[in-house]
Amino acid sequence: MTKYNEEFKLMVVQEYLSGSLGYRAIAKKYGVGATPLRKWVRAYKEFGCSGLSVKKTKQFYSVQFKLDVLSYMKRTGASHQDTAIHFNLNDPTLVASWYHRFLKEGIEGLQRKPKGRPSMSKKQKSTVNNQEKTMSREEQLERENELLRLEVAYLKKLKAFRENPDAFLEKHKLPSHSNLNKKDFD
């Protein structure tokens, strides 16, 4: 549940837009912060009433889309809110959280993580044990060798990314998100 409902936000924004009081005076009058009020006004100007609403369903974004958003923000020097508006996102805190997770964890931080506790099914364990028992010693060693090769390759890429994230992102950049509305800046 959100702290302020859509009707309240709309009333406060319309009072500000009427021009009678400034941000601080209206924020003090209604007991809200000046910063959220500025964000509400900006979202209302860009998206109308829908900019003030809270989404009922959770939207999932691909890792590539998140990288495109962060790349745009870095390239242009835009704020979190400017970037959110450019990509038609009405929540600039979403962009901020992607940015901080990317700085902390890298690309892995932008991937969807499963929610909740993993199941404790005994059937899964028994099938894994049965597979290992049926594999010959040679097959087990080959599997272990392959897993070690994958781990080494992963660690090399991780090291390269940590040493120079910009070069890594440019090298692994995919085509930009096709659903974006391009604005004409003439």
Q: Cα–Cα distance between 82 and 45 in angstroms, integer?
A: 12
What's the full length of the chain, in residues?
A: 186
pLDDT in tens, 64-120: 888 888 888 888 888 888 888 888 787 788 889 889 988 888 888 888 777 788 777
State the pLDDT at residue 130.
61
Q: pLDDT by residue (tens digit) across 13-30? A: 888 788 777 878 888 888
Q: What is the pTM of this model?
A: 0.44
Instruction: Calculate mean pLDDT across residues 157-177.
Output: 72
Q: What is the pLDDT of residues 116-141, one digit of tens each?
A: 887 777 665 555 556 656 778 888 89
Task: List the one residue out of 44, 43, 24, 42 whose CA is nearest residue 33.
Answer: 24
Percent of the chain with pLDDT over 70: 78
Q: Which residue has the higher pLDDT, 13 or 177?
A: 13
Q: Does the pLDDT at position 177 exceed 80?
A: no
The average confidence (pLDDT) of the chain is 78
- Nearest-CA neighbor of 72 among 55, 89, 59? 89
Cα gap 90→131, rounded to integer Å: 49
Angle, alpha carbons 50-6-43 (nearest 5°): 45
For the chain, which residues make up each domain, given as ranges? Answer: 6-51, 63-113, 126-176
